[in-house]
Each structure stands twice: as structure tokens, then as C-alpha cells.
Amino acid sequence: MRKTETLKSIALAGMIALGVVAHSKSSHAADIQTLTVAGGCFWCVEADFERVKGVQEAVSGFTGGNVANPTYKQVTGGNTGHYEAVQITFDADVIDRRSLMDMFFRSVDPTDAGGQFCDRGESYRTAIFAGSAAERQVAEAAKAQAAADLGQTVVTPVLDLGTFYPADSYHQDYYLSRDLIITRFGPKRKAAAYKAYRDACGRDARVRDLWGNAAPFVGS
């Protein structure tokens, strides 16, 4: 074989090899998806789901309302129609959407239409937000299973996914923060204030009473 033909063959073989490697990498790329839910206090939902294997991040924010870029004060004031929500980014090769939805229903009180635990009002209602017909089908199936398991009516709606607005940095990873804040009990680290709030609000106690051993984030 002539030298030029040999070089061409080597180059072609190299390109084929690179193509195989690239295809292998793309075929094994992580299947990253998002799920948006509202479960009352978004600090609590974020704290729960960031513990789940396969979840890469949970971001606190707002969705479902009629005001662009709402502030926390606007939303909790009850005049924007928004839910306190959390956008969960997950690797679907590690944990699937249905499993996350099942966990969500069992981490809240889906029989309560007026809020969650000590937090009352429209911004604290529960909901699952679906971005497609397929996602809605999965959500409705998870809802039906939750109702069957409880033997009660589940009022958590499945809504169309709209714009999700992340909350400001003050509210992100609140449960982990060492920042010092002033509370009604005096100065506390955010993490300590979060724990005190969650205990006082009765979230885990109610979830435990409702779901028992099926509650994924609290002991029986």
C-alpha cells in the first residue's frame, strides 16, 4: 500500500475510534430532568429532597401565579396566586419521576386544601406541576395511589407547569446555613432556626400520623 493511502487509512481508523468513544459517552450520559412540586414551606421540601439519591439539586421558588418575578413578601401576602414551590433536578437513571412523586405525596398532608401544617393560605397549598401530557399521566397515577393508600380524598391538584421563579439567595439551602439571623427567640443560625420552626410547625408529627412507616423522611 502506498504511503499516502496508509496515512489515509490510519486517519480514517482514528476518526472511527473517536466516533465510537463519542457515541459511547453520549449513550451513557445522565438523563437529567426536573420536577416541580409545592408542599407548603419550601425550606422543608428542599431539605427533604436534597437527601434523595439521584437528586442533584432542589431550588426553592414560586410558580403558578400571575405576577412576574414575585418577592417572598408578595407571595406570602397571598395576592399573587403563587405557590411556594421547589424545582427538583434529578438523574432519571438513578431515580425516576414516579418514585419522586410517590415520595412527595408521603412527605405532605395531601388531604389539606388550606395550606400545610401551621402554614395557612394559598401560597402554602400542595400541588404537582406537569410539563407534558406524559408527566401529567404519571402525576395522576401517583395521586390515585396516594388516595388509595390513605383511604381518603387527596386534594393536591396536578397543574400545568408555568414559569418557575427561584427565590432570592436568603431562602436557598436555609436548612444548612450558618448565617446568623434574629428570631423571636433571639439570635440563631439559620439551620437551628429552621429545625425549631419545623418542630414547632408539627410537620413531621402530622406526616408520621398520616403515613406511618410509608413516610420517607421521618421515623415511624
Residues serving a catalytic function are 41
CA 3 – CA 99 distance, rounded (Å): 59
Which CA distances in Å does 158 have to 61, 144, 216? 18, 11, 21
Angle formed at CA 125 by CA 197 and CA 70, multiple of 5 degrees: 85
Find out whether 64 and 164 touch, Cβ atoms under 8 Å: no
Find out whether 87 and 113 touch, Cβ atoms under 8 Å: no
CA 195 – CA 206 distance, rounded (Å): 16
62 forms beta bridges with 84, 165
Spatial CB neighbours of 137, under 8 Å, sequence gap ≥ 6: none
Angle formed at CA 63 by CA 59 and CA 67, multiple of 5 degrees: 125
